[in-house]
Chain A
Amino acid sequence: MADEITLEVVRYRPELRIEPVVQSYQVPLREHWAILDGLTYIKDHLDGTLSFRWSCRMGICGSCGMTVNGDPQLTCATFLTDYAPGPVRVEPLRNFPVIRDLVVDIGDFMDKLPTVKPWVIRDVDSPVEEGEYLQTPEELDEYKQFSMCINCMLCYSACPVYALEPHFLGPAAIALAQRYNLDSRDEGASEREDILSSPEGIWACTFVGECSAACPKDVDPAAAIQRYKLTAATQAIKNFLLPRGAR
Chain B
Amino acid sequence: MTASHDVLVIGGGGAGLRAAIAVAETNPRLRVAIVSKVYPMRSHTVSAEGGAAGVAADDDSLDEHAYDTVSGSDWLCDQDAVEAFVHEAPRELLRLEHWGCPWSRQPDGHIAVRAFGGMKKKRTWFAADRTGFHMLHTLFQTVLSFPEIVRYDEWYVTKLLVDDGRTYGVVAIDLATGRTETITASAVIVCTGGCGRVYPFTTNANIKTGDGMALAYRAGAPLKDMEFVQYHPTGLPFTGILITEAARAEGGWLLNKDGYRYLQDYDLGKPEPTPVMRSMELGPRDRLSQAFVHEQAKGRTIDTPYGPIVHLDLRHLGAELIDAKLPFVRELCSKYQNIDPVTELVPVRPVVHYMMGGIHTDIHGATPIQGLFAAGEVACVSINGANRLGSNSLPECLVFGARAGRAAALFAGLYGGRIPPAVMAQGRDEEDRLERELTRHLDGRERIADIRTEMQITMENGSGIYRDRDSMVKAFDELQELQARFADAAIDDHSRTFNTELVALLELSFMLDVAESIITCALHREESRGAHQRTDFPARDDERFLAHSLVQREPDRAGRRVRYLPVTITRWPPGERVYGR
Contacts and interface: CB of A to CB of B under 8 A. Distances in A.
In the complex, A touching B (Cβ < 8 A): yes
A45 to B, nearest CB: 7
Nearest to A131: B94
A58 B47 contact: yes
B46 A61 contact: yes
Nearest to B109: A134
Given A57-B206, A128-B98, A100 B497 contact: yes
Interface in B88-138: 91, 94-95, 97-100, 102-111, 130, 133-134, 137
A143 interface: yes
B145 interface: yes
Contact of B498 (A56, A103, A144, A186): A103
B327 to A, nearest CB: 10
Interface in A204-222: none
A240 interface: no
Contact of A119 (B42, B141, B206): B141
B485 to A, nearest CB: 16
Contacts of B105: 135-137, 140
A188 to B, nearest CB: 10
A101 B331 CA distance: 30
Contacts of A62: 41-42, 46
A168 to B, nearest CB: 20
B206 A55 contact: yes
Interface residues of A, number: 61
B320 to A, nearest CB: 14
A103 B154 CA distance: 12
B480 interface: no
Contact of B176 (A43, A105, A126): A105
Contacts, number: 169
A183 B100 contact: yes
Nearest to A49: B493
B495 interface: yes
Interface string A133-158: 11111011001100111110000000
B499 interface: yes
Contacts of B238: 32
A77 interface: yes
Interface in A21-63: 32, 43-45, 47-49, 51-63
Contacts of B130: 60, 148
A91 B57 CA distance: 51
Contact of B94 (A101, A128, A183, A186): A128
A176 B141 contact: yes
Interface stretch (A2-10, A110-118, A195-203, A229-237): A110-118
A150 B41 contact: yes
A63 B264 CA distance: 42
B162 to A, nearest CB: 29
A48 B495 CA distance: 11
Contacts of B447: 44-45, 48
B570 interface: no
Contacts of B153: 110
A13 interface: yes
Given A55-B44, A56-B46, A143-B102, A134 B110 contact: yes
A163 interface: no
A35 B108 CA distance: 45
A162 interface: no
Contacts of B567: none
A132 B111 contact: yes
B239 A57 contact: yes
Nearest to A114: B144
Per CB-CB distance, the 4 closest pairs between chain A and chain B, nearest first, are: A134-B109, A44-B449, A48-B492, A49-B493
Given A51-B499, A119-B99, 13 more contacts: A15-B496, A48-B447, A48-B493, A55-B207, A56-B42, A57-B205, A60-B133, A126-B98, A128-B91, A136-B105, A137-B104, A137-B106, A183-B102
24 contacts: A44-B449, A45-B447, A48-B447, A49-B495, A51-B497, A51-B498, A56-B42, A56-B46, A57-B239, A58-B47, A60-B133, A62-B41, A99-B176, A101-B498, A114-B147, A119-B141, A128-B91, A133-B97, A136-B108, A137-B105, A137-B106, A147-B134, A148-B130, A150-B46
